[in-house]
Amino acid sequence: MDLILFLITAAVALIGAVAMLLVRNAIHSALFLLLNFGAIAVLFLLLQSPFLFTIQLTVYAGAIMVLFLFVVMLLGAERIEDSTDRIAWQRPLSLLLGLALLVMTVVGALRGGAGAMPPSGEATASFGDPATLGALLFTRYLLPFEITGVILLIAVIGVVVLNQRGRHTAVTKPPVGD
């Protein structure tokens, strides 16, 4: 039964991720990302990690999605622009890199790499434990955690500055008088 739930949830996560990349409307893309976050949260629950399930729903599906939608609406990116593709070389490059990633994943799975067998014993007992996660986050991974926070702060400030600059440089015509 767990395998069936895993396969259904993994399919939903993959469909949401692919749909997020393929839709042209930014709001629809954000909603597919929300579907993906929800499916990943269910995967954490299937791994018997209720703490990570809760954090995934609260932080990613809640706060980060609100931030994404705020930025999309602030920039007005929900409107589809019919302009020529200035960087057309990126599409074939992204397809080539995606294909290379897929080949590496299949080869790694077939060769039975280091992560092929699930861990046993003490490693699975502490998986998703809040005390273990907190200890790792604030000791071993403190620098990446802080850098991520700074990058998110810079991104939000950049969006606000770019939006304000766009408003000030827009030419507005004065109203026509009688």
The C-alpha atoms of residue 141 and residue 151 are separated, in whole angstroms, by 16
In a domain? residue 176: no
Residue 13's pLDDT is 92
Query: Looking at the structure, do residues 63 and 133 belong to the same domain, yes or no?
Result: no
Query: Looking at the structure, do residues 142 and 72 belong to the same domain, yes or no?
Result: no
With tokens 């020529």, the residue in question is 84
Name the residue range of residue 145's domain.
Answer: 129-171
In a domain? residue 95: no
Per-residue model confidence as pLDDT tens for the chain (178 residues): 788 888 999 999 999 999 988 888 878 888 888 899 999 999 998 888 888 888 888 888 888 777 777 777 776 665 555 556 667 777 788 888 888 888 887 887 787 655 545 556 565 666 667 888 888 888 998 998 899 889 888 888 887 887 777 666 655 555 665 5
CA dihedral of residues 155, 156, 159, 162 (deg, nearest 10)? -90
CB 38 within 8 A of CB 19: no
CB 142 within 8 A of CB 57: no
With tokens 């606000």, the residue in question is 160
In a domain? residue 89: no
The token pair at 129 is 């434990």
CB 127 within 8 A of CB 47: yes
Phi then psi for residue 85, to 5 deg, are -80, 110
Residue 14's pLDDT is 93
In a domain? residue 122: no
CB 103 within 8 A of CB 24: no
Residue 131's pLDDT is 85
In a domain? residue 178: no
CATH of the domain at 26: 1.20.120.1200
Per-residue H/E/C for 20-65: HHHCCCHHHHHHHHHHHHHHHHHHHHHCCCHHHHHHHHHHHHHHHH
pTM: 0.56
The token pair at 41 is 């949260």
The C-alpha atoms of residue 101 and residue 98 are separated, in whole angstroms, by 5
Q: How many domains does the chain have?
A: 2
Query: Looking at the structure, do residues 75 and 1 belong to the same domain, yes or no?
Result: yes
Query: Looking at the structure, do residues 4 and 75 belong to the same domain, yes or no?
Result: yes
Residue 39's pLDDT is 92
End position of a domain, from candidates 79, 109, 143: 79
Q: For the chain, what is the largest distance between any 2 Cα atoms, rounded to a whole number of angstroms?
A: 84
Query: Looking at the structure, do residues 74 and 141 belong to the same domain, yes or no?
Result: no
The C-alpha atoms of residue 161 and residue 178 are separated, in whole angstroms, by 37
In a domain? residue 145: yes
Query: Looking at the structure, do residues 74 and 1 belong to the same domain, yes or no?
Result: yes
Query: Looking at the structure, do residues 5 and 66 belong to the same domain, yes or no?
Result: yes
End position of a domain, from candidates 79, 108, 141: 79
Query: Looking at the structure, do residues 10 and 70 belong to the same domain, yes or no?
Result: yes
The token pair at 135 is 């200890």
With tokens 């990570």, the residue in question is 52
